[in-house]
Amino acid sequence: MKVITRNERKIQINFSIGMANIDGGKPSAFTEKLLHQLKQAIIEEYTRTNANNIDY
């Protein structure tokens, strides 16, 4: 997966939300893909952070 900066991701999210509003609130394929990537990034960050905090 291509690594993008937080600012680039924010711009993409704002764009996709705007496009969804134009389309009557239905997410486009682009929006679906972007939201999936965002969800995966959040899960990876959460699991990586918590894995570092586990005491065995």
Task: Evaluate whether 27 touches 20 at the Cβ level (below 8 Å).
Answer: yes
Segment 17-35 mean pLDDT: 74
- Residue carrying structure tokens 């937080």: 6
- Distance between CA atoms of residues 37 and 40, nearest Å: 5
**Residue 55 pLDDT greater than 70, yes or no:** no
- Residue carrying structure tokens 């965002």: 38
- Mean pLDDT value across the chain: 76
Q: How far apart are the first and last CA of the chain?
A: 31
Confidence of residue 24 (pLDDT cuts 50, 70, 90): low
Q: Where are the domains of the chain?
A: 6-49
Determine which helix (DSSP H) or strand (DSSP E) holds 43, and give its type and residue range: helix 29-52
**Residue 50 pLDDT greater than 80, yes or no:** no
